[in-house]
Amino acid sequence: MDDSLITLTGKFTYILFRNEGNFYTAAKFEVNDEKGRVISVTGNIPELVTGIQYRINGNYIEHPRYGMQFQIQTLAKLLPTEKDGVVRYLSGVNFPGIGKKTAEKIVETLGEDCLSLIREDSSLLEKMVELSKRQINVIIEGLQIDNGMEELAKFLNIHGLSQRNLAKITRIYGKEALSKLNENPYRLIEEVDGFGFKTADKIGKSLGISDTDHRRLYALLISLVSDLCMRDGNSYVRLETLETVFFKELGSLSCDFEAIFDEAILKHQLYREENRVFPIAQYDAEIGIARFLAEFPYQFMDPYDPKLLLSYLENIQEYLGITYDETQIQAIEVFFERPFMIMTGGPGTGKTTVVNAMIKLFKLMYPSSSIICAAPTGRAAKRLAEVSSVNATTIHSLLQWDLETNTFGKNEDEPILADLLIIDEFSMVDNWLFYNLLLASKRIKKICIIGDKDQLPSVGPGCVLRDLMQSNEFSLIELKHIYRQQSDSDVINLAHAINTGNVTVEDYHHDVKFFACMPEEIRRNILMMVDDALQKGYSIDDIQILSPMYAGVAGIDYLNNALQESFNPPSKNKAEVKSGYITFREGDKILQLKNQPDDDVYNGDIGVLVEIIDAKHAEDHKTTIICQFGEIIVEYKPENWINITLAYCISVHKSQGSEYPIVIMPIIRRHAGMLQRKLIYTGVTRARKALIILGELDAFKRGIQVLELHPRETTLTQKIQQFVNGDYGFGNLK
């Protein structure tokens, strides 16, 4: 460290100014000296916590306007020794998965000097039964951060990386982090979750690494395979496509593509099957799913009495006042006969009714058994819990997903403990998530997956429900007969008509309305429709506008601004804050964009912005947005505002797993690049009571004729068949 630098210790007490773009910060700093001086400090500080002790290095400068300031070059957190400080430290970004309650328990058990005690003897944590193995490791690793982090923090700060990145990198590389990044910043792509090529390349260029450097070219190739798979939803990319895109990215530069590609194969970053190139994670997922299902179950249910089952079923029908049809009874029988079962069906076909019967009968036949119900989204899980009278959770919560490390607390070593696993809205589940769910399911004795095969596939790569069905290796029940509101539900009738490709708009008069208008008229008409619904007693939460695209006069961004202006206009009684092009205002309808498992809020959840706390009134002096999702309250600091957006209008993809009393869906010719049968069908089936489709109706009719814009390319079906039949060549396995 530069000997000319001054070193001070103390704590930040107040943030005067902060630019979240480059992290330039002006703040007040209480120095640990006899006078208790409070000085002004400035610098590019990735992330700081008020009240936590820091060591800062820098020099005093005379600012022409603001006077004497301490300009920070580097800083590092010091271990706190008081209870409140210890709790804040342990529940901070360096310790993902350690919340405030867990931190308080550690302090209560080990005392206020617990941090130094743990550093001296980490086995103290193992005596706390409340802590999982993962949590213990997180604490130990977090406490290994030492003075060497100061230089690393400075390095990352120069390159625009946050404190969150600092924690991630240090957990992987420890004391060698800085030397490893200087040696090869492109290693971040392979070794640290959440780093893409652009970030690594930015560091690489600033370090003087040339465009033709082997490290850069190798990283570019690896990244392209993953990016192309994510973009198209495929589990692999064709070799010729990869080569074409790779050289397009290089421009006029030249290199030995085959040599770089062969190296990636040898290092098990990529896997090749004929002309198919897999990211190793996708290959492992397909192989893992196929192998697990071919060998499932690892434990078996006790035999059951079929006669007793039918007797119980008759009692349930009599109690509920319903009669199950032949296919529904078959579904129930297959559920008990087979360890793994798929049930699919469109709206109104009785999936919920059958699931209820399955659960009730399972409890009767196996009174001491345990049942877990899960779904991909929070809203879908909540709906499953309501209709099944069984607690339901998101798949990510069930697996104890850690956002920071992108790992799961439930896995092969820490499996899910249950007899029956039911997964709803399965069309939304991608390869990677299903693979990790199966890894944690070796103690499960029976699995039932439920979904609508006609809905949009998952956001992530893969098309698992389709692939499982096409394999013809598993028990499959398709419910086709329409029951729910059969006589008067135009929504349900329209949904099924869409799947035939034959829709006559004149046939719908009750809860479905078609409204022809020009694109420039959509805004005005939607505002009128929403206002009309509000006048009839509906709330803004009951009404959901769904659009296929973000841009344009019928796009999500434009309609969100229009609806906010009309139904939640500016007011002196409502605080607001601007984030990019979005203005957040108290009372706004809010959409969660990313999973935040620690807060129990997930991608696609819709809530309301209840309060904005100005920075000068916030404990950490950061403007805070507070949103409510049902009974859950979530706080968003400026660095997390990107996780939310306005929800007056959302995408059809974001609506999956949810239902709304009223759905309004604009469709115009400009949407043609997105319009396909599954997208329109998915949007239509989100409506519970009423549906309005407006815009250019010829675009709607043409859209339902497009079966799939880009059918997903996977090999899961073939791999399942090979494993089930015992002819998968072990030479192909890693």
Highest mean pLDDT among 196-205, 236-245, 664-673, 722-731: 236-245
Distance, in Å, from the CA atom of 232 to the CA atom of 279, rounded to the nearest integer, reads: 14
Segment among 401-405, 529-533, 680-684 with least mean pLDDT:
401-405
Segment among 292-306, 370-384, 448-462, 534-548 with least mean pLDDT:
370-384
Closest by Cα among 585, 542, 596 to 560: 585
Segment among 199-208, 376-385, 449-458 with least mean pLDDT:
376-385
Closest by Cα among 567, 352, 600 to 452: 352
pLDDT surpasses 50 at 637: yes
Percentages (nearest 5) of helix, strand, coil residues in the chain: 45, 20, 35
Distance, in Å, from the CA atom of 659 to the CA atom of 662, rounded to the nearest integer, reads: 9
Whether the Cβ atoms of residue 194 and residue 402 lie closer than 8 Å to each other: no
Band (pLDDT 50/70/90 cuts) for residue 673 is confident
Cα 360 to the center of its chain, rounded Å: 32
Whether the Cβ atoms of residue 451 and residue 426 lie closer than 8 Å to each other: yes
Average pLDDT, the chain: 88
Residue 195 backbone phi and psi in degrees, to 5: -100, 130
The residues with which 401 forms a beta bridge, in sequence order, are: 408
For the chain, what is the radius of gyration of the CA atoms? 28
The predicted model gives 257-274 an average pLDDT of 96
Whether the Cβ atoms of residue 88 and residue 80 lie closer than 8 Å to each other: yes
First to last CA, the chain: 46
Higher pLDDT, residue 591 or 82:
591
Distance, in Å, from the CA atom of 39 to the CA atom of 27, rounded to the nearest integer, reads: 8
Band (pLDDT 50/70/90 cuts) for residue 609 is very high
Q: What is the pLDDT of residue 569?
A: 94
Q: What is the pLDDT of residue 147?
A: 43
Distance, in Å, from the CA atom of 501 to the CA atom of 508, rounded to the nearest integer, reads: 16
The predicted model gives 170-177 an average pLDDT of 77
For residue 563, give both structure tokens.
Answer: 């609806």
Q: What is the pLDDT of residue 91?
A: 84
Strands 67-77 and 53-63: antiparallel
Q: What is the pLDDT of residue 22?
A: 52
Q: What is the pLDDT of residue 732?
A: 39
Distance, in Å, from the CA atom of 243 to the CA atom of 258, rounded to the nearest integer, reads: 9
Higher pLDDT, residue 77 or 259:
259
The predicted model gives 55-81 an average pLDDT of 80
pLDDT surpasses 70 at 163: no
Q: What is the pLDDT of residue 19?
A: 66
Q: What is the pLDDT of residue 83?
A: 87
The predicted model gives 563-581 an average pLDDT of 92
Segment among 117-121, 226-230, 609-613, 712-716 with least mean pLDDT:
117-121
Q: What is the pLDDT of residue 604?
A: 85
Higher pLDDT, residue 462 or 33:
462
Strands 649-651 and 644-646: unpaired
Segment among 154-163, 399-408, 677-686 with least mean pLDDT:
154-163
pLDDT surpasses 90 at 665: yes
DSSP character for 670?
G
Highest mean pLDDT among 165-179, 194-208, 519-533: 519-533
Segment among 140-154, 288-302, 434-448, 650-664 with least mean pLDDT:
140-154
The predicted model gives 569-574 an average pLDDT of 93
pLDDT surpasses 90 at 296: yes
Percent of the chain exceeding pLDDT 70 equals: 93
Tell me the per-residue pLDDT of 381-435, one tens digit each, with 9 for 90 and over. 888 888 777 889 999 999 998 776 788 999 999 999 999 999 999 999 999 999 9
Strands 340-345 and 371-375: unpaired
Query: What is the side-by-side strand order in the sheet with 649-651?
Result: 512-516, 687-695, 660-667, 543-547, 649-651
Closest by Cα among 447, 382, 373, 359 to 657: 382
CA distances from 457 to 89, 204, 378, 463, 494 (A): 41, 37, 18, 6, 20
Residue 720, amino acid: I
Distance, in Å, from the CA atom of 82 to the CA atom of 144, rounded to the nearest integer, reads: 20
Segment among 13-27, 109-123, 467-481 with least mean pLDDT:
13-27
Q: What is the pLDDT of residue 678?
A: 94
